[in-house]
Copies of this chain bind each other. A is one copy, B any other.
């Protein structure tokens, strides 16, 4: 079971996911006891055409915790001429001759796949455009759920701007690999999950429902996966509260529900939720470290 590049979440089979999760638990234990691994001669390059401090730090910390080294760009796009922007393939071929693995965040869907096509070293997609993917986010999301309960038979509600959210798209692909999963997509009708994902779920026999009313779903789901609302995008400015998670929504959730969010958040997830034991989003972010460490060990061996 070798892994060459990580471009889309659907490329992971269930056995590969289980190997990744086994390794992730091992990484948790190694970090907890302040240990490291022997990757001291290996270099990770993070090539972020769009800035994302949290995601970048998560990958770079993972490489450091393995004992490795890091080359870093914070905002390659702002800092490149028009020329360079058009030549992601040339950049990857060159940077690939300096390092052992490249983490790329590109501003266009398909950017990571273009990189993978020419790269001499493994490519990890750290997000490629609105409507693209963010597979390692989906992997850490799934790992967070897996640490709490069986994945077969799970019911998951995705809430928010689902037409543009990378995280919901990538995680939906992964959930389709498990048995008896039920998905609720909760969103204003004009921001519902796109048909490519729905058709994928149909082909894989996954049950799903499209909803516009959060109240009809919130008491039924094992996982409430809230997603980011972009300020200024209509009609959310007025209607954002309709989809927000706050103390009144909390009361209607299952007692053992899991509240997740890829962060950063805005009005859609109230800070009063933070103290609820069902709020898992900070643990979810912390798990990113272990899953990315595990993934790097699989790509670098």
Contacts and interface: CB of A to CB of B under 8 A. Distances in A.
Given A43-B61, A57-B45, A71-B60, A264 B98 contact: no
Given A41-B36, A58-B98, A91-B53, A74 B83 contact: no
Contact of A282 (B72, B93, B285): B93
A87 B265 contact: yes
A231 B82 contact: yes
Interface residues of A, number: 52
Interface in A252-273: 263-266
B47 A83 contact: no
Contact of A64 (B69, B81, B86): B69
A265 B90 contact: yes
Contacts of A199: none
A280 interface: no
B35 A83 contact: no
A54 B95 contact: yes
B91 A76 contact: no
Interface in A24-83: 34-36, 40-41, 43, 45, 47, 51, 53-54, 57-58, 60-61, 64-65, 69, 71-76, 78-83
14 contacts: A36-B40, A43-B61, A43-B65, A51-B80, A53-B80, A57-B95, A58-B98, A61-B71, A81-B264, A83-B230, A83-B266, A90-B264, A91-B264, A98-B286
Given A57-B99, A83-B265, A86-B266, 18 more contacts: A35-B41, A43-B61, A43-B64, A53-B76, A53-B79, A53-B84, A53-B91, A58-B98, A61-B98, A75-B79, A83-B230, A87-B264, A90-B264, A93-B285, A94-B282, A97-B286, A98-B286, A98-B289
